[in-house]
Structure 1
Amino acid sequence: MNRFQSVLLLLFFFEVQISVAQGGFDLWVVDTEGTGGNLHLLPQTAKPLTDRPEYDNQPSFINDSELVFSAADDKGNSDIILYSFRTGNFTNFSKTSDRSEFSPALTDCKQYISAVVMEPDSTQRLWLYPVSGEPAELLYDDIAPVGYYDWYDNKAAMFVLGDPNRLVYAWGKGNVEEIAPWVGRAIKRRPKTSEISFVDMGNQKTDPAGEINKISSYDFKKRKYHDLGNTLAGSQDFIWLDKNHLLMARGNEIFVKKASEPNWTSIGAIASDSHHTISRMAYSQDLNKLVFVMQRN
């Protein structure tokens, strides 16, 4: 096992076996103005959305006013929580004592909230939770352990932990294509395209601020790869603002980059005495809000 695999293993088990002793994570929210490459934060509006010693992480907007995320209780068991910006209320979308749900997201068909589930025997697979409230369904019984994923054409592109970690796409039962080895945890559909983007950790560069990796995408229609430039040094989580612009964070500062250009530009920084280090993010153009995760001091 090389050092890249070791780092990803540590990151993965930190994510899915988080404990209170390892420190809590909270969701924050900040208002924005502008769009795309002209997006800017309004730092004076930044505030915690959650404020608990446990693990609140992996936010994802499911419509123009609601957000889902993974939240752990004081015993370390994680459920899917829904937050409404319209009402200001938090609601348990799932409440399971024998398993934990991570990385919730809305499926392409909008009929389910998907999640990586750590099952009672610690198997990690992708499940579907109907928005109608009916019982959850196991989607791919033969693909595990799944860590992260996103959707294209009602099928999942999944980070599967192994040696090496792989990005795979399930065309159908028994028809699973390997897209890339040595991938990072950010697996994101490029909006309004047939591309899934990911961090390629196979050829890292060293920088005083941390390691730099390539961002790549795979076009399912054209069956070709695209080079989208490099990550920020020391960072690996990114999201898409729109079809052409990427967002990443380093420390308490957030940056934007056009996919076809090399340089990252700062759009603002978050000042906090209680939290540090921005990681996961979710953006709503409808609300002009950016939700992000910060670690408690």
Structure 2
Amino acid sequence: MFKVMLGALFACSLIPQAHAAMPKSQIWLAKSHDNGITVKPLTSDDAYHNQPLVSAEGVYYTKEITSAERSQTDLFLYRFADNSHTNLTNTPESEYSPTIYPHKDGVSAIVVEPSGKQRLWFYPEEASLKPERIFEHIEPVGYHAWGKGEDLIMFILGEPHTLQFTDLSGHLPKVIAKDIGRSLAFNAKRNMYSFTFVEHGEQWFATYSKRLGSVKKHFQLPSSVKDYTWLDSDTLAYAIDNKVFTRNIDAPKSVKLWRNFEGYCKANITRLSFHEETLAFVCDR
């Protein structure tokens, strides 16, 4: 369990700028059970609440913190056990994209450093340990996903944005794809990474296999879809407006309406995270 610890602007709008007004958004939780589904707000809608990550312990997320001097973001954890919200970073820098770190107890995240550079950092669970930068030479990092062993993929900002594969050594990152989207994931059972990219004006859902060393295009996605989450090793979910649809990677022509959240979200659902029958989704205000 986390204890309170110490705590380049993006060249695009994937992550809000650290010192600019951020769009207001709200995180909701939808929990499936034997009698149906329970939906409740996890946060208020009066600030930027985004990038949820559902885990066994709770929900990690990014929240805007404002003062007379500045506006920045910190990482928070909502714990299922006691319904508490804890600021995990509490720093003057902005942190984004909390991700479970597989090699030590804690999370990895993107940090906008004082220099303006965006690098990948590790924030330990133990309060007596200091956060540490994971890579000195790899930046600007936008998003990331850990795989098996010490492998990971990273969204690297540029013209165009690229998906790069490396490991904890950071040795010779390999460019996997270009013109990629922000949603990265790892499917452990299938031992493959997943992502989206645009080719000839069309958006594709694709996977990368380290074993094969190749990218496979699976199916096209509507251009409005910016985020997805795996429900299991075969099925992914994504939102259009305020409805969530599912698609089986082995039968991609069949698109099914899974959840209709129009009674809770009047605008658009922009992000999703699923773990053990619990779905977190972000609704733009």
TM-score (norm 1): 0.84
Amino acid of the residue matched to residue 118 of structure 2? Q
Structure 2 residue 227 is the aligned partner of structure 1 residue 240: no
RMSD: 2.2
Unaligned runs of 5+ in 1: 1-7, 35-39, 206-212
Residue 208 of structure 1 corresponds to none
144, 150, 153: which is aligned to 1:154? Answer: 150
Q: Which of 100, 111, 119 is 1:117 aligned to?
A: 111
Moved more, 269-278 or 241-250: 269-278
CA-CA distance at 1:174 after TM superposition = 3.3
1:270 to 242, 261, 267: 261
Amino acid at match of 1:280: R
Alignment partner for residue 198 of structure 1, among 180, 191, 195? 195
Aligned equivalents of 2:145, 2:154: Cα separation in 1: 7
Q: CA deviation at 1:110?
A: 4.7
C-alpha contact (below 8 Å) 2:19/2:72 kept by paired residues: no
Instruction: Provide the rounded CA distance (Å) in 1 between the counterparts of 2:44 and 2:263.
Output: 13
Residues 210-254 of structure 1 deviation map (CA, whole Å, 9 limit, x = unaligned) = xxx101111011212222212234112011111111110011000
Counterparts of 1:1-297 in structure 2, within 5 Å, are: 10-12=12-14, 14-17=15-18, 19-20=20-21, 22-32=22-32, 42=37, 45-62=38-55, 64-74=56-66, 75-97=70-92, 99-133=93-127, 134-152=129-147, 153-171=149-167, 172-205=169-202, 213-260=203-250, 261-272=252-263, 275-285=266-276, 288-296=277-285
* Bigger mean CA offset, 139-148 vs 229-238: 229-238
Deviation at 1:272, TM superposition (A): 4.2
CA distance in 2, matches of 1:90, 1:68: 9
Q: Which amino acid aligns with 1:240?
A: W
Shift of the 59–244 alpha-carbon distance from structure 1 to 2, 3 Å rule, reads same
Match of 1:210 in 2: none
User: Aligned partner of 1:151: which letter?
Assistant: W
Q: 1:39-66 deviations in whole A, cap 9, x for unaligned? A: x973xx322110042111101123x231
> Structure 2: how far apart are the matches of 1:219 and 1:18?
38
Distance 2:199 2:223 in 1: 15
SS class of match (2:13)? helix
Distance 1:18-1:292 versus aligned 2 partners, 3 A rule? farther
Q: Where does structure 2 lack aligned partners over 5 or more consecutive residues?
A: 1-9
Aligned residues between the structures:
269
- Secondary structure at 2:229's aligned position in 1? strand
1:16/1:102 contact within 8 Å kept? no
Asked whether the equivalents of residues 145 and 153 of structure 2 are also in contact (C-alpha less than 8 Å), the reply is yes
Cα deviation, 1:170-192, whole Å, max 9, x if unaligned, reads 23333211111111111111232
Query: 2:7 aligns to what?
Result: none
The residue type equivalent to 1:57 in the other structure is: N
| Aligned residues of 1:125 and 1:145 also touching (Cα < 8 A) | yes
Contact kept? 1:59, 1:70, Cα under 8 Å: yes
Q: Deviation at 1:28?
A: 0.5
Greater Cα offset, 140-149 or 264-273: 264-273
User: Is contact 2:54-2:280 (8 Å) kept?
Assistant: no
Q: Higher helix proportion, which one?
A: 1
Cα distance in 2 between the residues matched to 1:191 and 1:125: 25
Once the two structures are overlaid, the 10-residue window that deviates more, 195-204 or 161-170, is 195-204
Contact persistence 1:101–1:118 (CA under 8 A):
yes
Distance in 2 of aligned mates of 1:31 and 1:267: 13
